[in-house]
Structure 1
Amino acid sequence: MMRTRPHKKRYPIAVAVLSTLLAISGISSPSWAGTTLEQIQQTGILRAGTRTDALPFAYVNAEGEWVGFSIDLLERIRMQLEQELSRPVQLELVEVTPRDRLSSVAQGEVDLVCESASFTFNRSRFVDFSIGFFKTGTQFLVRRDVQLNSGEFRVGIIPSSTNASAAQGYLRVAEFVRIPDRATGVLEMDAGRIDALASDGILLEGMRQSLDDADTYALIPQTPIAPEVYSCILQQDNLDFREIVDRSLVSFMSGFLNNNPPEVAIFDRWFGDDGVVPSDRDFLQSFFQETVESYQERLNNQQPDPIQEEPDAAE
């Protein structure tokens, strides 16, 4: 029930006034009419943007397969949509990058993006976000054999990333070098042009473990300097679709918390002791618990008050 295709070209901007406003942030207006659910109901296709280089969330493995934790979550969202819409739904994966993922959603090129994108208030001006499904934070990848000199500390940062802002606020005396991606950062580090690479800790650890000389590198500090919560990116004003996505993500987290085999198997495949990127189980379990409780509280607050019968009027 899944197929992949190349990333589409952007559609023309339909509304001049809105496009002018969104162009300030490089985002254009939607290219089709109708809600996301209406589109999926009509086509039977869930168009999902994701990454090819964000191990363990979405990447291409040695067999050429598109895999990852967020790919598994997208499959669960697809199944949830089939139940809600009472029709078959096919998952179509589309490659996106940090540079175009927001515009891809805002323009309607994809229905949602699920990978390693963090919620920020600035981004929420243009797109909507699901509940969070993973928590990490900014850390630095360094070579163990390099002596760090605080006066000449050069840090590779990816422009416009949340990690760049966090690193610049944390290391005020460092020199910051702009790099296009984490893979380039490792090459720059090995060439001695930077001393550290700033990114999300889980992504740096995933990349470190994929290297032939993984033990040459280390992550610092042990505790991330700034929290990051990953969420799916959605179009604004599609509350019914967002609720289905949220319900699917909560179902996964609740299943894991209740030790249901299917959900535990997914978690262990990516983050267990023998997983692709072993992670702190207790930390993530606490995050899942907080997220599920917050979601339930939100639902309770949306419930209408019980109808109170007014006393009969006096005769």
Structure 2
Amino acid sequence: MTEHFNLPKNLTQMNKKLAVSLLTLLFTVNFPLLGWAETVLEKVNRTGVLTAGVRTDAVPFGYTDKNNALQGYSVDLIKLIQQRLEKQLNKPIKLDLKTVTLKNRFTQIETGQLDIVCEATSITPEREETVDFSIPYFTSGIQLLVREADAERLDPTKASETQLETIQENNITVGFLLGTTTDDEFRPIYPEAKWQVVGSRADGIRRLRSEEIDLIASDGILLLGELWEQGEDFKAFRLVPEQPLTFENYGCILPQNSAQWGTLVNQTITSQENTQLWNQWFDPKTGRFPYQRFQSKAKP
């Protein structure tokens, strides 16, 4: 004889609720994973939009002109990447340019809010732990912008060990920006100096001109860029030492695990079109920002 077991009604209802809960959990877990697995190229192909970040305080890589329009070599590089994307995907791609800051440029990439950031970001092993970088498209380095009258006194390559040892908080004040390699790598070289945070390079130059600080430590080309942007007299200042104290390779910030996207960006950087673009900006004779000429102006 076969026995029939009748489950209590409330137990059957409980099982149904449990099944619904499990399905809900599966959908909750799987859907974000599926979205996260979408590559940058797949996302751009699906949406038809490339979302990119640039800075407005990194002359000549990213800044706003008198008409409040974004300008700079990195801005034009992103537009070149957009053009190559359109060719590869064989469809129009809208470029959505957003501005980033020193504080949020990495998190914007890490959280997927931006597909790429191109400005004046140095490639470092520490930063590569959370984001990827393109190949370098520019090399600069940390230099010190000083008033011309103080150039010999504050050039670390011309000072003796005894003179360097006498640097104290009460006789030298260094302006610097938080969240930069100057803050991370260069600041420990002069631990005895008084380090003062400046809100921007423009703010630093204003303080330097009014003798509130003795020098600004930052990438040489960005210091020259700010002098150019502010219409300052180059001869009133000098970059010391003549050769940068560090070497900084700039690259575009990319999401991790985005090999195909990185390949397209790198191919753009090494392209003939980018060589022409680079010369349009930096050629010593014909460039919009002939930084080598500007650097020579900031010498005696």
Aligning the two structures, in what range does the TM-score lie when normalised by the shorter sequence?
0.7 to 0.9
Aligned-residue offset at 1:276: 3.4
Q: Would you say 1:229 and 2:249 are equivalent positions?
A: yes
Which amino acid in structure 2 is aligned with residue 69 of structure 1? Y
Partners of 2:281 and 2:290 within 8 A in 1? no
3-state SS of the aligned residue for 2:250? strand
- When residues 238 and 213 of structure 1 are mapped into structure 2, their CA distance, relative to the original with a 3 A threshold, is closer
Alpha-carbon separation, structure 2, partners of 1:184 and 1:42: 42
Aligned to 1:162: 181
Structure number with larger C-alpha Rg? 2
Aligned to 1:207: 226
Between the two proteins, the alignment pairs up a number of residues equal to 245
Alpha-carbon separation, structure 1, partners of 2:72 and 2:197: 27
Alpha-carbon separation, structure 1, partners of 2:257 and 2:172: 45
Which amino acid in structure 2 is aligned with residue 278 of structure 1? P
Partners of 1:142 and 1:218 within 8 A in 2? yes
Aligned-residue offset at 1:186: 1.5
Give the TM-score taking structure 1 as reference length.
0.72
Greater fraction helix: 2
Gaps of 5+ in 2: 1-32, 155-166, 294-300
Q: C-alpha root-mean-square deviation of aligned residues, in Å? A: 2.4
Aligned to 2:289: 277
Task: Work out which structure has the larger RCO, using CA pairs closer than 8 Å and 6 or more positions apart in sequence.
Answer: 2
Give the 5 Å matches for 1:137-176.
Answer: 137-146=141-150, 148=153, 150-151=167-168, 152-176=171-195
3-state SS of the aligned residue for 2:122? coil
Give the 5 Å matches for 1:88-107.
Answer: 88-107=92-111
Gaps of 5+ in 1: 1-28, 257-262, 282-315
Alpha-carbon separation, structure 1, partners of 2:36 and 2:259: 17
Structure 1 runs of 4+ aligned residues shifted over 6 Å read none
Q: Would you say 1:247 and 2:267 are equivalent positions?
A: yes
Partners of 1:31 and 1:108 within 8 A in 2? no
Match of 1:179 among 198, 202, 216: 198
Task: Tell me the percent identity.
Answer: 33
Which amino acid in structure 1 is aligned with residue 265 of structure 2? V
Match of 1:119 among 97, 117, 123: 123
